[in-house]
Structure 1
Amino acid sequence: ERLQNYFHSGELRAKAAMTISANAATIVTRTTAKSLLYTDITAPGGNMYTCRRYAACVRDMDYFLRYATYAMLAGDSSILDERVLNGLRETYNSLGVPVGATVRAVQAMKEVTTEMLGAEAGKEMGLYFDHICTGLG
């Protein structure tokens, strides 16, 4: 049944991946504006203060989007465990990256992506964003 569902949803996943790929920069920009800008995290002394830290955060958002898309195409969240989540929480904690803000940003990315893709594809993609949030939480 799982294999049948995978093949049945293949066209939806492929179209969603193409849309995400074509709009990745917009998705990351909207996500950042929605979840991180204009909060204490970007103020002097905040974890995203200075251009270097801000750029690293935006890079990570792009990374999360890319790998969530790969996982959605494969229909398998294990790629997220292997390539993204394995040791990430510990790394973020050691660098002082606020995990809660990261989770909120991934949730915002889920919302932005769903707005762009529509409900059905957004729901499919949302599974993988949720997996990232759970793994970080």
Structure 2
Amino acid sequence: MGAEKFTKGPWVALGDVHQVGNLDEHLWCGDVSPNNATPFRGPICHIQSCDHIGGISREEAEANARLIAAGPQMFEALKAARQQVVTLGGEVIEADGKIVSDAIQAAILMAIDNALAAATGEA
């Protein structure tokens, strides 16, 4: 898997969605450095609800922003989980204590690899 080209996290969902005339104002996700150690580099995305046409609601738009903002953290968690699955080498233990077969481990790794590839543009 190649180097990630996306803006490193953390990201945050900033603002809220509120009515401006007949349209909703955008909610946006921004790039934030830890402890504001580096300057703000700009927004990651803008999100707009479409309540006015019966589309995406404000609540849904805000939830989408939180999901997008969590992207870098979820990406790193998925990479760490993948490493643990590889390290366990076929002895993936379920909550009830059963050992999962290599076929299930392979399916888990494939799902993780597909998700990581989609996130890095390698899918």
Q: TM-score normalized by structure 2?
A: 0.30
Q: TM-score, normalised by structure 1?
A: 0.28
- Give 1 or 2: higher helix fraction: 1
| Larger-gyration structure (1/2) | 2
